[in-house]
């Protein structure tokens, strides 16, 4: 019998080190994170010159401390965090297999060793010659001066990327700071992780970004049910300091967990009491079927809806809204389409049996309080905005918003770090585009408008992207949609005239650049890195330079400082700082000034490695102040309430333009289910491409980071998941080499035949490095060879989970 068996959840919280309830959550630096809680026994410390604190800095949502053991200037071993313990509020932040494999990244044969200049006739030829740093700086200075003079600052663009995500210095690397001092640059909004939900939330909850839910820590103590809707923390956030730990603790504490996902993910396998297996992209239809059950059986929270919401029923609609436009009218079939959204209707679309929908709806409605925590998979579909808002709506429909144990329907809550990032200054250019529209901004920049393409800050762009910086980003050849079309656009260097790449690994995106500069790894520079989505325990990690930069690599902040000097803004840029340590020290001192009770001195942190802290308010209960007093604490919507019907979206539906629209190109004022391009409806009639294809996050990589490490590739195989019925129809068995294809591209990889994915759908682990052969087939198995550049209607975002394909045995 384990320690936790038979304990109530409140007893379990006490066992987990939180005796005294939420008032005990505030802990001092001395209590949380001082080294020595675990001995160095077995670390091999006697055989090394030093053990130095560093970190894994990638965009998994956690960030983990590492201890690099160094002998004769070489990293010989990577050790995990040895501070903290196994209690909830002082937990160890143990790195996963990716971060523990840092040595292979540092000493990888793919390391970029010297500056490289393109000599190939076109970018996709990937032909380069080595040049000196002086020549590289001359080229960059000349290209920047030329671009600013000829085209203006709107033509300069820093590509979105997450390879250095949220390291306090390296995250921007000084590039935005430099561009802003030179006159500005074209901005972007959103990110590839959650672009759709970050834009649609403002119309539902009034938040300019996604609306977080209650934390898992709160769910452990107060919830009766946790619904992980398109949410897979055990594979996406594997850090011991993050949601893998807290979600597993919730399971041990006896909290019932239901997972909604087309895949029986590791989170479903390890955590779930039940798996709701729906077809990809049908989340809004499932919510509608559940809402029908709740309304007809009087299980919805009408009192909450009346007081805190607009647009649920005809009695609570905004002025000027048409008759029968409320969400309830939509469910009851009184709306424009005249279809009653019964569980049978939802079952036909989602593939979830009607009786299963009824059972699920009753369970969610009666479990109050329940935390419905949606991940970012549902919003990454062709009409992902409606999927996201529909899941939000489910939390409002059941009255779970703003109460302990409840939630908003957003992703699990967290304490945002208190530590500051590098100050980039103010961008004088007001124009910005969706982060997913950069290929359009290259291909037809002056044609992009506000009402057709989502341009912000002005009615239209005046010029396309002419100078593009690609720093810590593999968007050009891995993470962006339709890799073949993207490469075709980039090969025309009369459009984007110059591409500057900076990375420490020679990935396929770097191969498409005109000039490539060798960046350092975290082992070769100073920095600070915070937690991000790790729940209610936040932390800061010291990145102490462990070895001298290898080859001719330089940190990004050193590169931008030198360019600033050459372009006459050096003093304003650096303000007396000369090294990466100087930049890190300054940022840490700002954190200490704001919170001297939490953060030690910089030199103390060098020894300590990591500092943990929690909120004095206890676990996150999202929108609690709004629930307590909606008049005094209104939301950012026009009504100040939750807007199930949005007049803003209704107006945009009339004003926005969709030239040559395809199914799904529409904006709706309520979170209705919308039939889209390449969705389940089309799959039934498309005999050429009958399978829905999604891409899932993968334990062997964080997006594409670590995708070239052989140890991880050996441990975690790139295989396409395919249901047994679909495989049998095609004569495919597990480990058979297959080809997955559509009109956009072809990939070849082994099959994993399994009941762990719904029939009619396949899933390819996203982020693989491309290996395009002489026939144009990607032998690396990158899912974005198959995905579309067509944007979602509202956010103009990456609906990259909506694709139809065929699979054949190779």
Instruction: Name all domains of the chain by residue range, CATH numbers in brackets.
Output: 116-185+426-530+545-608 (3.40.50.740), 197-415+622-655 (3.40.228.10), 680-809 (2.40.40.20)
In whole angstroms, give the CA distance from residue 371 to residue 404: 9
3-class DSSP assignment, residue 46: helix
The answer to whether the beta carbons of residues 740 and 786 sit under 8 Å apart is: yes
DSSP string for residues in 251-295: HHTT--EEEE-SB--HHHHHH-SEEE---TT-HHHHHHHHHHHHH
Confidence band for 7, pLDDT divided at 50, 70 and 90: very low
Is the pLDDT reported for residue 83 higher than 70? yes
pLDDT of amino acid 524: 98
CA dihedral 14, 18, 23, 26 (to 10 degrees): 180
pTM for the predicted model, two decimal places: 0.94
Quick one: which of 704, 609, 584 has its CA closest to 171?
A: 584
The CA distance from 305 to 310, in Å, is 8
Mean pLDDT of 219-244: 92
Measured in degrees and rounded to the nearest 5, phi and psi for residue 541 equal: -115, 140
- The distance between the two most distant Cα atoms of the chain, rounded to a whole number of Å, is 78
**316: number of Cβ within 10 Å:** 18
Q: Residue 72 — left, alpha, or beta (φ > 0 → left; ψ -120 to 50 → alpha)? A: left
Residues forming beta bridges with residue 702, ordered by sequence position: 705
Structure tokens at 85: 């313990």
SS3 label, residue 175: helix
pLDDT digits (tens, 9 = 90+) for 389-413: 999 999 999 999 999 999 999 999 9
Across 170-182, average pLDDT: 97
Mean of pLDDT over the chain: 93
Hey, what are 165's tokens? 């995500």
DSSP, res 18: I
Rounded Cα gap, residues 643 and 327, in angstroms: 11
- 262 close to 380: Cβ distance less than 8 angstroms: no
CA distances (Å), origin 802, targets 276, 290, 617, 691: 19, 23, 41, 10
Comparing 246-250, 380-384, 445-449, the range with the smallest average pLDDT is 246-250
Q: How many helices (H) and strands (E) does the chain have?
A: 28, 27
Distance CA 69, CA 50 (A): 6
* Structure confidence by residue, pLDDT tens digits, 753-802: 999 999 999 999 999 999 999 999 999 999 999 999 999 999 999 999 99
Alpha carbon distance 264, 269 (integer Å): 6
Task: Give the dihedral sign, CA 62/582/473/711.
Answer: negative
> How many beta carbons lie within 10 A of that of residue 737, not counting itself?
12
pLDDT score of 1: 32
Quick: pLDDT tens for 573-585: 999 999 999 999 9
Position 41 scores a pLDDT of: 41
Which run of H or E residues covers position 752? Answer: strand 745-753
């Amino acid at each position: 019998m384990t320690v936790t068996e038979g304990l109530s959840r409140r007893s379990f919280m006490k066992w987990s080190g939180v005796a005294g309830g939420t008032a005990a959550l505030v802990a001092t630096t001395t209590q949380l994170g001082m080294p020595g809680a675990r001995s160095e026994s077995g670390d091999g410390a006697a055989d090394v010159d030093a053990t130095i604190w560093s970190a894994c800095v990638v965009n998994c949502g956690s960030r983990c401390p590492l201890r690099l053991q160094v002998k004769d200037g070489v990293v010989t071993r990577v050790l995990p965090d040895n501070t903290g313990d196994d209690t909830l509020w002082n937990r160890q932040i143990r790195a996963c297999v990716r971060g523990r494999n840092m040595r292979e990244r540092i000493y990888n044969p793919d390391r970029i060793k010297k500056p490289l200049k393109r000599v190939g006739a076109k970018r996709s030829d990937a032909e380069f010659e080595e040049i000196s740093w002086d020549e590289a700086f001359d080229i960059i200075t000349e290209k920047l001066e030329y671009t600013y003079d000829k085209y203006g600052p709107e033509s300069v663009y820093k590509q979105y990327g997450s390879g250095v995500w949220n390291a306090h210095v390296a995250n921007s690397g000084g590039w935005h700071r430099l561009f802003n001092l030179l006159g500005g640059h074209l901005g972007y909004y959103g990110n590839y992780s959650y672009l759709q939900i970050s834009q649609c939330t403002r119309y539902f909850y009034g938040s300019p970004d996604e609306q977080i839910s209650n934390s898992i820590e709160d769910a452990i103590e107060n919830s009766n049910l946790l619904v992980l809707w398109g949410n897979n923390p055990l594979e996406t956030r594997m850090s011991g300091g993050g949601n893998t730990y807290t979600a597993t603790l919730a399971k041990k504490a006896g909290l019932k967990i239901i997972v909604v996902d087309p895949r029986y993910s590791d989170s479903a396998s390890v955590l779930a009491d039940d798996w709701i297996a729906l077809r990809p992209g049908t989340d809004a239809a499932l919510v509608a079927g559940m809402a029908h059950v709740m309304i007809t059986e009087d299980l919805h929270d009408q009192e909450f809806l009346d007081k805190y919401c607009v647009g649920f029923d005809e009695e609570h609609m905004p002025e000027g809204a048409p008759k029968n436009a409320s969400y309830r009218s939509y469910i009851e079939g009184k709306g424009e389409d005249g279809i009653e959204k019964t569980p049978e209707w939802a079952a036909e679309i989602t593939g979830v049996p009607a009786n299963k929908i009824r059972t699920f709806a009753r369970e969610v409605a009666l479990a109050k309080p329940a935390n419905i925590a949606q991940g970012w998979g549902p919003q990454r579909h062709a009409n992902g905005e409606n999927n996201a808002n529909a899941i939000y709506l489910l939390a409002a429909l059941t009255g779970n918003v703003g109460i302990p144990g409840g939630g908003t329907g957003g992703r699990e809550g967290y304490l945002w770090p208190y530590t500051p990032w590098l100050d980039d200054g103010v961008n004088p250019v007001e124009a910005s585009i969706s982060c997913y529209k950069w290929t359009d901004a290259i291909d037809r920049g002056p044609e992009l408008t506000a009402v057709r393409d989502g341009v912000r800050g002005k009615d239209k762009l005046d010029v396309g992207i002419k100078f593009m910086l690609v720093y810590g980003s593999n968007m050009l050849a891995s993470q962006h949609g339709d890799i073949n079309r993207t490469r075709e656009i980039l090969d025309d260097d009369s459009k984007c005239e110059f591409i500057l790449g900076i990375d420490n690994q020679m990935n396929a995106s770097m191969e498409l650049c005109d000039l490539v500069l060798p960046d350092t790894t975290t082992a070769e520079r100073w920095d600070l890195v915070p937690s991000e989505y790790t729940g209610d325990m936040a932390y800061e990690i010291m990145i102490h330079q462990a070895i001298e930069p290898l080859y001719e690599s330089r940190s990004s902040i050193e590169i931008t400082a030198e360019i600033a000097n050459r372009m006459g803004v050096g003093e304003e840029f650096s303000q007396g700082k000369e090294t990466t340590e100087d930049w890190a020290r300054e940022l840490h001192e700002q954190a200490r000034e704001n919170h001297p009770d939490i953060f030690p001195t910089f030199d103390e942190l060098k020894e300590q490695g990591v500092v943990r802290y929690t909120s004095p308010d206890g676990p996150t209960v999202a929108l609690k102040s709004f629930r307590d007093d909606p008049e005094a604490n209104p939301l950012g919507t026009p009504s100040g309430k939750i807007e199930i019907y949005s007049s803003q979206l209704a107006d945009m539906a009339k004003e926005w333009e969709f030239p040559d629209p395809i199914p799904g190109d529409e904006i709706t004022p309520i979170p209705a289910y919308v039939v889209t391009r390449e969705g389940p409806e089309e799959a039934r009639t498309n005999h050429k491409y009958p399978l829905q294809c999604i891409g899932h996050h993968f334990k062997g990589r964080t997006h594409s980071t670590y995708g070239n490490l052989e140890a991880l590739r050996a441990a975690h195989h790139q295989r396409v998941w395919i249901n047994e019925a679909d495989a049998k129809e095609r004569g495919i068995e597990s480990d058979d080499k297959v080809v997955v294809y559509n009109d956009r591209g072809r990939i070849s990889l082994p099959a994993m035949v399994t009941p762990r994915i719904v029939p009619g759908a396949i899933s390819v682990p996203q982020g693989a490095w491309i290996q395009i052969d002489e026939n144009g087939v990607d032998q690396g198995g990158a899912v974005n060879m198959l995905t579309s550049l067509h944007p979602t209607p509202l956010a103009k975002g990456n609906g990259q989970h909506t694709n139809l394909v065929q699979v054949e045995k190779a």
